[in-house]
Structure 1
Amino acid sequence: MEPVSLVVGAMIALGGVLLGRALPNRKAPRPQQSSRYPAVAQQRPPTPQPMCGCGHHLVFHDHEKKVCQAQVVIPGKWTGENANSYRKCMCQGYRGPVPVDEYYAPDILDGGM
């Protein structure tokens, strides 16, 4: 190759690197994933929460009667008053997903059944 074209190519490459360094709002490089397991997610998805149709968590519902014990805010503009008022949630029972019970299974030490 010609020495002039090598110098021009090196100057273009160096100019691109310097321009890239000088530009603001650069994003931080992403952490490299293992090449062995590229599809493994770095963060676990959030645990699903047992929410009722009324919008309250399972902890707000009575375990025996299944009635919601939370209070609901009624804005004053709906009732024509200046202040907000509170009333008991009218949910008749928890209708959301039931959390799975956790069980402990002891390890099999002998390897036999």
Structure 2
Amino acid sequence: MIEGAAILLVGLVTGYLAGRRSRRPEPLTGAAVCSCHHPRGQHLDGKGPCQADNKQSVNGVQVFLSCPCQLYDGPEPLPQFYAPEIQP
């Protein structure tokens, strides 16, 4: 029983350390993300220029610069349809 607890503890510590190593969070699976790594909602009407800011460090000072992406080039989302309720 002690061996099982030790194996569990090693697995938890390894997962914690591996998670801390990666800095950039991965986008959600199936999320519409542009090549600038911003979601489709940050682009004007999903087709226009990106409205998000990029954080950069200039001489040790954090500076927010506008994203240079001018057109959303990610995957097209599925079309949305309206279906009225079926009356019994």
Structure with greater strand percent? 2
Could you tell me which residue of structure 2 aligns to residue 61 of structure 1?
43
Shift of 1:82: 2.6
TM-score (structure 2 length as normaliser): 0.59
Where relative contact order (Cα < 8 A, 6+ residues apart) is larger, the structure is: 2
Residue of structure 1 in register with 2:69 after alignment: 91
| Number of equivalenced pairs | 66
Task: Name whichever structure is richer in helix by fraction.
Answer: 2
Q: Structure 1: which 5+ runs fail to align?
A: 1-21, 28-45
User: Which structure 1 residue ranges, 4+ long, deviate > 6 Å from structure 2?
Assistant: none
Identity fraction in percent = 30
**Counterpart-to-counterpart distance in 2, 1:48 and 1:96:** 11
CA RMSD between the two structures: 2.8
CA deviations over 1:47-75 (Å, ceiling 9, x no partner): 50000000000111001761000011111
Larger-Rg structure: 1
TM-score by length of 1: 0.47
